[in-house]
Amino acid sequence: MAATTPPDNDILFSRSLHHAHGATRALGGVSIGVGEGEILAVTGPRGSGKTTLLRCLSGQLRPDEGEVWFNSGPVHTLSTAQRERLRLTRFGWIGTEPALLPELKAWENAALPLLLAGESRRRARRVAAEWLDRLDVGALAKAAPRSLTRAQAQRVVIARALVHGPAVVFADEPTAALPATEGAQVLRTLVAACRSHGVTAVLASHLAECVELADRSLALVDGRPAAALPAAAYVTGASGASCSLSV
């Protein structure tokens, strides 16, 4: 049966996502729509399925069942190579650990998506330097990753996730490996950068501040939206809007 296309106003959309890692169920049916330029916080306790959801939405993982749509095109039916290309050109990814290539300088790490896309080194360096400036680590452009603090390195990772003008950025607990104060600052910088450039963001985070900064939030429990939980356990965003979701 042909899949029905998702609503036009959602840049990212999933329908009834199910996924298991071996015998462990990670997602038990998650349907969600994210509008262009929206910031969505995904919350939930350890093991609730946040990482698996972000990996399915970003095309890293093909769900066992269900659909993922980006820009009205199906992601779940793409080949591995097509999904890799989509990730490289239209998405940005920020993991928990600030993973940088140790043999490259900070600016080269930040410029990687542009260099891989065949941009000239000169232009890639200029654009990467602009992003490092915006993220308050411009002075560290020539630094080796080993000389950076974890918070500085994560800012370089954020620059790398945004440097190629992605449509959607996914961040999986981007501040969990950072000291609390620095983590909150990095999160605020990330959200501000997405907002000022109209980038849609899906942020998994345990920080209450993430929910406050986001437009909407989705709480997961055992791989399912926690819509049935009491209001106090299901926090909505600053706008007061809860996420459009169904199971």
Ligand X SMILES: Nc1ncnc2c1ncn2[C@@H]1O[C@H](COP(=O)(O)OP(=O)(O)OP(=O)(O)O)[C@@H](O)[C@H]1O
Q: Which residues bind ligand X (CB under 6 A)?
A: 21-22, 24, 26, 44, 46-52
Using the minimum distance from each CB to ligand X, give the nearer residue, 51 or 154.
Answer: 51
Using the minimum distance from each CB to ligand X, give the nearer residue, 48 or 175.
Answer: 48
Residue 213 to residue 43: CA distance in whole angstroms? 13
Name the one residue in this structure whose structure tokens are 């190579």: 81
Using the minimum distance from each CB to ligand X, give the nearer residue, 55 or 164.
Answer: 55
Residue 45 to residue 221: CA distance in whole angstroms? 7
Residue 77 to residue 83: CA distance in whole angstroms? 9
In 3-state terms, what secondary structure has residue 246? strand
Report, in Å, the least distance between residue 170 CB and ligand X: 12
Using the minimum distance from each CB to ligand X, give the nearer residue, 47 or 138.
Answer: 47
Residue 57 to residue 34: CA distance in whole angstroms? 11
Report, in Å, the least distance between residue 220 CB and ligand X: 7
Report, in Å, the least distance between residue 142 CB and ligand X: 34
Report, in Å, the least distance between residue 225 CB and ligand X: 13
Residue 36 to residue 17: CA distance in whole angstroms? 21
Using the minimum distance from each CB to ligand X, give the nearer residue, 53 or 110.
Answer: 53
Report, in Å, the least distance between residue 44 CB and ligand X: 5
Report, in Å, the least distance between residue 50 CB and ligand X: 4
Element of type H or E holding 184:
helix 180-196
Q: What tokens does 56 get?
A: 């399915």
∠ CA 194-44-4, nearest 5°, is: 70
Among 109, 139, 136, CA closest to 124: 109
Q: What tokens does 107 get?
A: 């600016």
Using the minimum distance from each CB to ligand X, give the nearer residue, 28 or 166.
Answer: 28
Report, in Å, the least distance between residue 212 CB and ligand X: 19
Using the minimum distance from each CB to ligand X, give the nearer residue, 192 or 233.
Answer: 233
Q: Which residues of 71-110 are buried (b: 16+ CB within 10 A; e: fewer)?
A: eeeebbebeeeebeebbeebbbbbbbebebeeeebbbbbb
